[in-house]
Structure 1
Amino acid sequence: MENEARRPYRMGARAAAMEATRVRVMEAAATLWARRWYDDVTLQDVAEEAGVSVQTVVNRFGGKEGLADAVFDWVASRAEVTRQAPTGDVAAIVAVLFADYEAQGDANVLWTAQMERVPAIARAAAQARAQHRAWLERVFADRLPASGPDREHALNLHFAATDVYLWKLWRRDLGLSRGDAERAMRDLLTSIDPRRGHDA
């Protein structure tokens, strides 16, 4: 009886340990790919960073492309959790977006630069665009037209005004402070509010 009672506990502990190892490998890969080109990071590099064997990485993910898909899904799911902002509050929306970009923006730009030659990154980029569009539809639900070409036009404007490359332009290329860059994005979002035209 005692052995039977302890078996589920041991299985649960093993599953938890396997999941912890899986997350550690993904964190290691994400860290390396945030600094280096995809092709320059080997499974050996990831294994050493995570403190596991290469075989462990292969067993968990099947290879480099499988690992990349898992990492990008994992990063996307974390972004979904952290990007919580009240609908219509432009200041809060921009603050939440900048918190994400300040943490992940440089990696996002590096990954995006490789999407034409790395299928895993191309898939991740398509997923990220869809996720960002859904986020825009949610946080700007109060101002977007209901449907049709006007809605698409408004979404395109909001997409451009909140794109990571605009963050890069302001923060990296032009050297704006975070406060000044956030102000610029707030002003831009306010200026493209479709409701302004109806009020005029």
Structure 2
Amino acid sequence: MESEDKRSYRMGARAAALEATRARVIEAAAGLWSRRWHDEVTLQHIAEAAGVSVQTIVNHFGGKDGLSKAVADAVATQTELARQVPTGDVPEIVAVLFADYERQGDANLLWIAQMDRIPSAARAAVHARSLHRAWLERAFADRLPAAGPDREHALNLHYAATDVYLWKLWRRDLGLSREEAERAMRDLLTAIDPRKEHHA
């Protein structure tokens, strides 16, 4: 008869293997969807990239929509971890934000472009906006006014100054170097510091 320790080890190893498979599928799907339209990528494409069967993907995620949600959640968690910054340190805030955008900005824009026809892309975009706003409240906690219209106005300005579309404008549309684009964002964030109004 199998001992308790041996059974616990076997169950733990099985759980670890299942989690590794799940992570591999999410990574494969995220990689494909970062370069191609959502509906161009089939479960078969993802299965081949992950080295699993389509049925395995269905067993883990229930289908493409469930996998899309899992990918969005994984990217959100990764972004949250990558954006740890000291409050009020504008150069560091900009450097960390650019590191994130340089890594996945194009993929983010590709997902945003599909919001109107892909429900999972719309959900991911709404969630990402909520997370970005919460990040702004932490990163600029030293300068944001207390609750009220002035705080909302300041948050809107900071959101516009740090949005992925502004990164796209500078880096992709205008062809600025990363150094030039980071300088532009630093200058913009310095210019909209609401504390300046009280010292004017």
* TM-score category (smaller protein): over 0.9
| 2:109 pairs with 1:109 | yes
Output the TM-score relative to the length of structure 2: 0.98
User: Following TM superposition, by how much is the alpha carbon of 1:2 offset from its aligned partner in structure 2, in angstroms?
Assistant: 6.0
Aligned residue in 2 for 1:4: 4
Aligned residue in 1 for 2:124: 124
Aligned residue in 2 for 1:77: 77
Paired residue type of 1:25:
V
User: Following TM superposition, by how much is the alpha carbon of 1:5 offset from its aligned partner in structure 2, in angstroms?
Assistant: 1.9
Aligned residue in 1 for 2:159: 159
Paired residue type of 1:72:
A
1:92-103 to 2 correspondences below 5 Å: 92-103=92-103
| 2:143 pairs with 1:139 | no
User: Following TM superposition, by how much is the alpha carbon of 1:4 offset from its aligned partner in structure 2, in angstroms?
Assistant: 2.6
Separation of aligned partners in 2, 1:135 and 1:75: 15
Output the TM-score relative to the length of structure 1: 0.98
Paired residue type of 1:117:
R
Q: Match of 2:186, SS?
A: helix
Unaligned runs of 5+ in 1: none
Separation of aligned partners in 1, 2:99 and 2:8: 41
Aligned residue in 2 for 1:17: 17
Unaligned runs of 5+ in 2: none
Paired residue type of 1:55:
Q
Pairs aligned (count): 200
Q: Match of 2:125, SS?
A: helix
Runs of 4+ in 1 over 3 A off after TM superposition: none
Aligned residue in 2 for 1:39: 39
Separation of aligned partners in 1, 2:185 and 2:149: 24
Separation of aligned partners in 1, 2:93 and 2:68: 29
Q: What percentage of residue pairs aligned between the two structures are identical?
A: 75
Aligned residue in 1 for 2:50: 50
User: Following TM superposition, by how much is the alpha carbon of 1:161 offset from its aligned partner in structure 2, in angstroms?
Assistant: 0.2
| 2:189 pairs with 1:189 | yes
| 2:14 pairs with 1:29 | no
Q: Deviations over 1:65-114 (max 9, x none)?
A: 00000100110011111100000000000001001000000000000000
| 2:175 pairs with 1:170 | no
Paired residue type of 1:47:
A
User: Following TM superposition, by how much is the alpha carbon of 1:34 offset from its aligned partner in structure 2, in angstroms?
Assistant: 0.3
Paired residue type of 1:41:
V
Separation of aligned partners in 2, 1:127 and 1:45: 26
Q: Match of 1:96, SS?
A: helix
Separation of aligned partners in 1, 2:159 and 2:4: 56
